[in-house]
Amino acid sequence: MTTLNFETDSNGLAVLSIDVQGRPMNVLTPELTQALADAVERIAGDATIKGAVITSGKPGAFIAGADLKDLVTAFDRGIDAAEGAKASYELSRLFRRIETCGKPFAAAINGLALGGGLELCLACHYRVLLDDPKAVVGLPEVQVGLLPGAGGTQRLPRLIGIPAALPLLLQGKQVKPAEAQKLGIVHALAPADTILEAAKTWLLQSPTAEQPWDNKKFRVPGGAGPSAPHAAQTFVAGNALTSSMTNGNYPAPPAIMSCVFEGTQVPIDVGLRIESKYFGKLLASPVARNMIRTLFVNKGAADKLAARPAGVPKSKVQKLGVLGAGMMGAGIAHVSAKAGMDVVLLDSTLEQAEKGKAGIAAQQAKLVAKGRTTQDKADALLAKITATDDYARLEGCDLIVEAVFEKREIKADVTRKAEAVIPATATFGSNTSTLPITGLAQASSRPKQFIGIHFFSPVEKMPLVEIIVGEQTSQETIARTLDYVGQLKKTPIVVRDFPGFFTSRVFGTFTQEGLRMLLDGIEPALIESGARLAGFPVGPLAVSDEVTLSLQQSIFKQQDADGLDDKYRGRIGRPVIDKMVDELKRPGRRFGAGFYDYPENGPKALWPGLAEAFPPKAEQPDVAEIKARFLTIMALETARCFEEGVVPDAVGADIGSILGIGYPAWTGGTLSYIDTVGVGAFVAECRRLAQAWGPRFEPSEWLAARADKGETFYPAAAQQG
């Protein structure tokens, strides 16, 4: 199968058109790199060929980067740093051959060019990019725990200067064509029908086949090394900022900093060797494996609705009803209208419904002001949302998403009222984070069509949707719900009904562990900083304030009413909640006071009164112990969910723990964390923590048996999900 089409025209120009078979987008496979290497040698050795254009045979996309489905297996195949460095350098050597073979190469970039795709373009002597906002370019490797390993850390700084290159390398930012040209990443822009001719025109002008950095007089724009004018800002301050952001958990950013600092002070051939050395170390680390597997391979499969039951016809929501116009309901209405659905936003009064729509309008106005949408598009979106208090307006809805207050009787009431109006074929979804779906379905006259659809706040930003299957939920209902999530372009996971489901149950152990630490006499600042140093986006006290302590207390009371016993481990911090709400009258941020003070002018700060309310002990644990408690208790609770069948596989557990509840991405997710530590070592750590802090850390017999057998959550044969 051809991966590279080679043609020559009457002017002696070769056109290399990349078309990797069986892939929706081109990726750098071994077959492609070999074909490209053969083509370069053919061009270099043929005196009748004056130059070459490299383009893509796939419209709208040049090369999406390396084949991450192959790279994800590197760690498990036992690749060491030296082997990883060799693989990187072989590709770098090919790209170096392109720029030094004596023939000019132009890249006609007819769509997005990311990672190795952009690195190939940077090795060409001229670059013309499709003038289309979707034709983004960038080096996003840092987002999966790697660095650009085919010259990206060396050519980009030499091309646009270190201060401009570092943010792109460290953030993995993708830039649109106009910005790419402004930065100097590409030389020109062209429409789709002239891009190839633009590249050929440049070649026919008999240009030099020398890159700027191969000229003896070349200097890195703005300077390089410790004596560069920008050095204090880019390297000294940059290293400090990188360290504070990664907390030693992510090795890729400091490796990128080292590549740029070291590599730009020496000839490019030496710099490429330096880059490959650092790339090899990253490829041989579990962090890259974890991030690629969960955030790219498995998330990609989930986005394509891999969990969708087979044999059910594809469906599409045309009209959606949202019950409850509060923050969650309005958010659901917003993203659904943005996806093209007609939305009925219903609340108990017309005033409340219109208030919810007004909030959506305010968000759209901000986007218009920032130039991220147009007024016409904003008006069209708002026109799709009907605010009402009349249940009759729900007639014809394909799907209902109920997002009212977490009270069973309120949810039951709106369920009955909506089902009296909606078609017999409609699906009913409850956006609940805690109440069992099977119990809520008792109010439904069609329990087979009743399902949980748990969004995360803020809905507009959070990518995950947790789908909860009740005891009677049908396969067709699961499929239709997944189709809806697919319309929203969000990432779904499917879990079984259980108190707290998966995400709320596991997240509860994080917040409750933090509250328990207060009872253990641990300093509040140490609790919060320990969580952040482990890689959590925010500490448990701060997030409890955001959720509100009063809401958590009401959930505890609902659990009491439901007869939930203490086997459910999300209540060890209840004494703290009750004291903060009932005695200290500090129920959370929304009320102006919680674990933190919220001054009108100035940043929030931990409430000084916590020292009196929960006196700290004289001797404090090491921060490593704080980190271990948070990481372990959440991973252990996930293992319990797996054991009990709440989550069917490690894939959904890992995606949900990172995208839904902020478990550190460097781990790959809660179950990847156990595998990375080693199941045996994890069980031993649980037992140590159980002795030190309480029986909630005690592993189950099931988990201990897995450790004895050496059973991982990702079997070797299923490393790619």
Residues taking part in catalysis? 454
d(CA 94, CA 74) in angstroms, rounded, equals: 21
Give the tokens for residue 42: 């053919």
CA-nearest of 88, 95, 96, 93 to 214 is 96
d(CA 234, CA 226) in angstroms, rounded, equals: 10
Torsion on CA atoms 194, 199, 205, 211, rounded to nearest 10: 160
Alpha helices in 116-251 (DSSP H): 116-123, 152-160, 162-171, 177-183, 195-204, 231, 238-246
Tally of CB atoms within 10 A around 198? 19
SS in 3 state form for 270-281?
Answer: HHHHHHHHHHHH
Contact between 657 and 634 (Cβ < 8 Å)? yes
Position 711: which residue type? E
CA-nearest of 683, 666, 697 to 288 is 666
- Per the rule left: phi > 0, alpha: psi between -120 and 50, beta: everything else, 592 is left
Give the tokens for residue 561: 């009413």
Looking at the DSSP bridge assignments, the partners of residue 111 are 60
d(CA 351, CA 356) in angstroms, rounded, equals: 9
Give the tokens for residue 353: 């419904």
CA-nearest of 436, 466, 473, 434 to 451 is 473
Alpha helices in 264-349 (DSSP H): 268-283, 286-292, 299-303, 327-338
Tally of CB atoms within 10 A around 440? 24
- What three-state secondary structure class fits 294? helix
Name every residue whose Cβ is closer than 8 Å to that of residue 123 and which is 6 or more positions away in sequence.
95, 96, 98, 99, 105, 151, 155, 211
CA-nearest of 692, 691, 705 to 643 is 705
d(CA 633, CA 637) in angstroms, rounded, equals: 6
H or E, element range at 400: strand 399-402
Give the tokens for residue 356: 């919810």
d(CA 654, CA 636) in angstroms, rounded, equals: 13
Give the tokens for residue 170: 């460290």
d(CA 283, CA 80) in angstroms, rounded, equals: 8
Name every residue whose Cβ is closer than 8 Å to that of residue 640 and which is 6 or more positions away in sequence.
700
d(CA 265, CA 373) in angstroms, rounded, equals: 43
H or E, element range at 152: helix 152-160
Q: How far is CA 317 from CA 277, 328, 527, in A?
A: 51, 19, 45
Strands 13-18 and 4-8: antiparallel
* Cα atoms in the Cβ-side hemisphere of radius 13 Å centred on 23: 26
Q: How many residues does the chain have?
A: 721
Place of tokens 């460095």: 85
Name every residue whose Cβ is closer than 8 Å to that of residue 606 and which is 6 or more positions away in sequence.
524, 525, 528, 541, 595, 596, 597
d(CA 112, CA 60) in angstroms, rounded, equals: 7
